[in-house]
Amino acid sequence: MFVQVCLYFYCKCLWRCLKFVVRKLTGQCELQRICYNTKPGAARTMKIEASLKGSKSKRLQTSVSVHPDAIEKTIDDIMELKRINPDINPQLGVSLQACLLQIVGYRNLIAEVEKLRREPYDSDNPQHEEMLLKLWKCLKPNSPLKARISKQWCEIGFQGDDPKTDFRGMGLLGLYNLVYFAEWDTEIAQQVLSDSLQPKYSQFSKAEWEKKKFDKAIGYSFAIVGINITDLAYNLLVSGALKTHFYNVAPEAPTLTHFQQTFCYLMHEFHKFWIEEDPLDIMEFNRVREKFHKRILKQLQNPEMALCPHFAASESLINM
């Protein structure tokens, strides 16, 4: 342990000395070198974030957690602290501001998502009930819901007569994501729902098809899987894995809409992955989900990665 501590401080001191020498040789601080030599996106923002967090200056360390309204003042403080003339380096301030907006925005997005996750579904809340009914109407526009408490909910993948019990794990976040998917990517959401109820095997006769088409072991429960994929997206967000994606697709602060667009992508990709894996039955769900999770994590390790926004819900975000 003593050797490890000594090695840590040695490396830390050596790194600071190296940074000092490089600054003297180049005439640029680390923040300048990152902004001037790294193209905009996740690669630049993550380096800026690491540099600020690893700084010996408390002012720089806390700059990644300021209020969005204080970012411009924070940039001025950074420039002053680093003795950078903004008139000579006008683009640096712009680049740092964009990075800080992403960094602070990501932190605020986690807080917003966490708030939704912690808010339980309340059947006495008219807004909650309205959203739930909207989900049904988007997914089953030609099949009126006969009653609020009904076996019909199983047709879109809930477990019982009242969907409110299925939202316990993810709270309102699960409902928000499902409604967003169904409302903005209606055609694809309806297709995924239809596919989830059908056998994946083409060799069935018509009689076998009729016998098996509502067998949950053949497909999966759409709504329950949606809530589960919400959990996956939430964990990717909180762990920081989604920084790569959001810093590449959101020029400024990532928003809840970006998170919901990501959920749409994950739902569609998981559906394709489920079919490719061809599991024997629903009991293999956790295995397939874990394998899918690892695949997404591996993709997000690439700093150039942006989860492909090929959904209708993503069209308004592509050119943001």
In-domain check, residue 98: yes
Question: Is the pLDDT reported for residue 259 higher than 90?
Answer: yes
Are 243 and 218 part of one and the same domain?
yes
Q: pLDDT above 70 covers what percent of the chain?
A: 81
Distance CA 270, CA 292 (A): 7
Last-in-domain residue among 86, 117, 148 = 117
Q: Provide the residue range defining the domain that includes 86.
A: 25-117
In-domain check, residue 315: no
In-domain check, residue 153: yes
- What pLDDT, in 10s, does the model give residues 299-320? 999 999 998 654 444 444 443 3
Q: How much is the pLDDT for 137?
A: 97
Last-in-domain residue among 79, 102, 117 = 117
Are 201 and 89 part of one and the same domain?
no
- Residue 197: C-alpha distances to residues 154, 155, 216, 274 (Å): 11, 8, 7, 13
Torsion of CA 161, 165, 166, 170, to 10 degrees: 160
Q: How much is the pLDDT for 285?
A: 93
In-domain check, residue 15: no
Q: Give the count of domains, the chain.
A: 2
Are 132 and 95 part of one and the same domain?
no
Q: How much is the pLDDT for 223?
A: 97
Are 191 and 252 part of one and the same domain?
yes
Read off the tokens for 271.
């559906």
Are 125 and 245 part of one and the same domain?
yes
Torsion of CA 245, 247, 249, 253, to 10 degrees: 130
Q: What is the mean pLDDT of residues 274-296?
A: 92
Are 272 and 226 part of one and the same domain?
yes
Are 157 and 292 part of one and the same domain?
yes
Last-in-domain residue among 94, 117, 140 = 117
Are 81 and 199 part of one and the same domain?
no
In-domain check, residue 93: yes
In-domain check, residue 4: no
In-domain check, residue 58: yes
Are 39 and 58 part of one and the same domain?
yes
Q: How much is the pLDDT for 86?
A: 86
- What pLDDT, in 10s, does the model give residues 92-149? 999 999 999 999 999 999 999 999 999 999 999 999 999 999 999 999 999 999 999 9
What predicted TM-score, i.e. pTM, was given to this entire model? 0.85
Distance CA 85, CA 302 (A): 34
Q: How much is the pLDDT for 280?
A: 82
- What pLDDT, in 10s, does the model give residues 260-283? 999 999 999 999 999 888 888 888
In-domain check, residue 316: no
Q: Highest mean pLDDT: which of 19-33, 186-200, 212-226?
A: 186-200
Are 30 and 164 part of one and the same domain?
no
Are 139 and 182 part of one and the same domain?
yes
Are 87 and 138 part of one and the same domain?
no
